[in-house]
Amino acid sequence: MSAFTTRPEILGRFGVVTSTHWIASAVGMKILEQGGNAFDAAVATGLVLQVLEPHLNGPGGDMPAIVYSARRGKVEVICAQGPAPAGATIAHYKAQGMQVIPGDGLLATVIPGAWDGWMLMLRDYGTLPLRAVLEPAIFYAEKGHPVLPRVAETIAELNDFFRTEWPTSHETWLPGGTAPQPWGNLTNPALAATWTRLLTEAEAKQGREAQIDAARDAFYRGFVAERITDYLAQAEVMDASGQRHRGVLAADDLAGYAAHVEEPLTYDYHGWTVAKCGPWTQGPVFLQALALLKGVDLSAMDPLGADFIHHVVEAKKLAYADREVYYGDPDFADVPLKALLSDDYNTARRRLITDRASMDLRPGHVPGFEGQVNRTMALLDALSRTDQAVYEPTMAHLSEKKGDTVHIDVIDNEGNMVSVTPSGGWLQSSPTIPGLGFCLNSRAQMFWLEPGLPTSLAPGKRPRTTLTPSLALHDGLPQLSFGTPGGDQQDQWQLVFFLRYVHHKMNLQQAIDAPLFHSTHFPSSFYPRSREPGMIMAERSFGADVLDDLRARGHKITEADPWSIGRMTAARRDPDGLLRAAATPRLMQAYAVGR
């Protein structure tokens, strides 16, 4: 295998930051240089990404993080996935004539969690004051930044819709009626003013922690919450259903919200312990796939060959089928994770993997859950489309430009590690809140409107998000942080990266650069909840022989252009303290920095 990589694997001992935008990575490195730790750097990087990639995340979005604190000596999950509002009942949505929650607009909104998650990370794990991590984001919102062509194109294609249906978004993103030009200077003065006021109100308090808590209060119980609820009290806007609807988010929902810390879910695999968020995310599918593949000799397979692709895809199909039936907020649903990750269960499931591609959605049968399996499969048969599969959040009814996600990995010289995947609240998800410069999220589209399922809509319940950062320990030592945007594809691309890294001894950049693939066999988490049975999307750079071999096994293949699938970043700390980082060359914007 060629040792060539598109970029070097970054090496150093002081600190590394890798993210989906080069400016954000540079900001994170600046924070490390100023004496901040990995958590301070991650917060600053994340807030800047809300400005640089507003089509992929925003202040009204959500974020899960997996962190390792050298001081605490353990891996933890920060859950900043907001739950459904009190008014988000199945009865209310059914009364609107809905069978599926639309992918945009105000009915798709849950409580925004990202701001509180970032502030919790800063207060409890970081060291710097609020001003230090917020000023870079204010700078780029006020002074501007070179707008990515994809951002400019997204805004331009939504021009007519924004003007006629979401005028507050038109005022924000097309001031004077003109969309930004690719690489032109894009500002967001309203967002800069919002953050400046937050900072001013916070600094009226004495002490670092008090200031951070004041910033949380201003967002959820102060002027930000007031402007959100004032707008929602009168707004009735168009969404993907083709009708105008009011939202259900209220002041009490915002006032009662707080991000929290919980234990990760882990699985041991070939000397590694992989930590993921719980079943309120899709994270356990990664661990289920490892459990299925543990009995397959992947090390003997060509990591770019048809055998490897076939076995990984067939394992993914089984794991994702279980996701559809069993996953959901464990505070509301009994999720049988012990059974789903057990050796006996996965040994039996592994026997379903043959030399032929499966065309069926085949969840496993955990004793006591038979009725749940039957109800879920009946629902999918009735509502899941088998055309135009969409595996990332989208405004496809208006534009070919999809919403998505960003990712950040940071490690400092003390061994602190952060893997975080912020998303939601992107500019095409919901109308911009007047005077704030940002919009709300559309995460409620993950819920079903059928009662009695783990992902059935209910007040206070977290939607089953696709956001799924990763952190891995080797021989008990936290060493590897990785993740990617990509909706339902996130744990697929991460799995391929991790397996190649573990079994085939690629370095971080080699594992990221190698051709990628994913399955669209299972139902999407996003409106309109479609699937393409038996389909694999694979980069053409695998070569005709490999792709033809897969077709001969029964797989359907969509050939993608080289360098078009996956947006991975990763960082590592070796046992001797050497730090490593890498970022994908795909889309030509992610970047790893370090020294």
Kindly report, residue by residue over 121-147, the tens digit of the pLDDT: 999 999 999 999 999 999 999 999 999
User: Which tokens sit at 457?
Assistant: 């809509």
User: Which tokens sit at 131?
Assistant: 């001003």
Per-residue model confidence (pLDDT) at position 529:
81
DSSP 446: G
Per-residue model confidence (pLDDT) at position 381:
87
Cis peptide before 528 (omega within 30 of 0): yes
pLDDT tier at 161, thresholds 50, 70, 90: very high
Between 65-69, 202-206, 335-339, 377-381, the lowest mean confidence (pLDDT) is in 377-381
Residue with tokens 């909840």: 529
CB-side neighbour CA atoms (13 Å) of 209:
3
pLDDT tier at 512, thresholds 50, 70, 90: very high
Mean pLDDT of the chain: 95
Instruction: Kindly give the pairing relationship between strand 74-80 and strand 63-69.
Output: antiparallel
Backbone φ and ψ of 538, nearest 5°: -135, 140
CA atoms of 367 and 100, how far apart (whole Å) = 29
Q: What is the pLDDT of residues 437-464, one digit of tens each?
A: 999 999 999 999 999 999 999 999 999 9
Is the pLDDT assigned to residue 80 strictly greater than 70?
A: yes
Question: What's the chain's Rg over C-alpha atoms?
Answer: 22
CA atoms of 393 and 374, how far apart (whole Å) = 27
Between 229-238, 272-281, 319-328, 375-384, the lowest mean confidence (pLDDT) is in 375-384
280 with 323: CB under 8 angstroms? no
CA atoms of 571 and 573, how far apart (whole Å) = 7
CA atoms of 423 and 50, how far apart (whole Å) = 9
Instruction: Kindly give the pairing relationship between strand 556-560 and strand 535-539.
Output: parallel
CA distances from 229 to 101, 250, 259, 577 (A): 21, 6, 20, 49
User: Which tokens sit at 288?
Assistant: 């289920």
Is the pLDDT assigned to residue 338 strictly greater than 60?
A: yes
- HEC sequence for 77-95: EEEECCCCCCCCCHHHHHH
Is the pLDDT assigned to residue 530 strictly greater than 90?
A: no
To which H or E segment does residue 17 belong? strand 15-19
Per-residue model confidence (pLDDT) at position 502:
97
Instruction: Kindly give the pairing relationship between strand 417-420 and strand 470-474.
Output: unpaired
Is the pLDDT assigned to residue 272 strictly greater than 70?
A: yes
Residue with tokens 């020294």: 595
CA distances from 350 to 234, 326, 404 (A): 54, 18, 32
List residues bridging with 409 in a β-sheet.
Answer: 18, 419
Q: What is the pLDDT of residues 390-440, one digit of tens each?
A: 445 543 333 344 557 999 999 999 999 999 999 999 999 999 999 999 999
54 with 104: CB under 8 angstroms? no
Per-residue model confidence (pLDDT) at position 194:
98
Per-residue model confidence (pLDDT) at position 323:
97
Average pLDDT over residues 236-245: 94
Please list, residue by residue across 559-568, b when 16 or more beta carbons sit within 10 angstroms of its beta carbon and e when fewer do. Answer: ebeebebbbb
For helices 22-33 and 130-143, give the axis angle rounded to 10 degrees. 150
CA atoms of 468 and 460, how far apart (whole Å) = 21
CA atoms of 134 and 125, how far apart (whole Å) = 16
CA atoms of 328 and 375, how far apart (whole Å) = 15
CA pseudo-torsion sign 441, 442, 448, 449: positive
Tell me what percent of the residues of the chain surpass a pLDDT of 90: 93
DSSP 532: -
Comparing 240 with 482, which gets the higher pLDDT? Answer: 482
Per-residue model confidence (pLDDT) at position 394:
44
What residues contact residue 332 under an 8 Å CB cut-off, 6+ apart? Answer: 454, 458, 460, 461
The three-class DSSP label of residue 220 is: helix
Q: What is the pTM of this model?
A: 0.96
The Cβ of residue 6 has, within 10 Å, a number of other Cβ atoms equal to 15
550 with 306: CB under 8 angstroms? yes
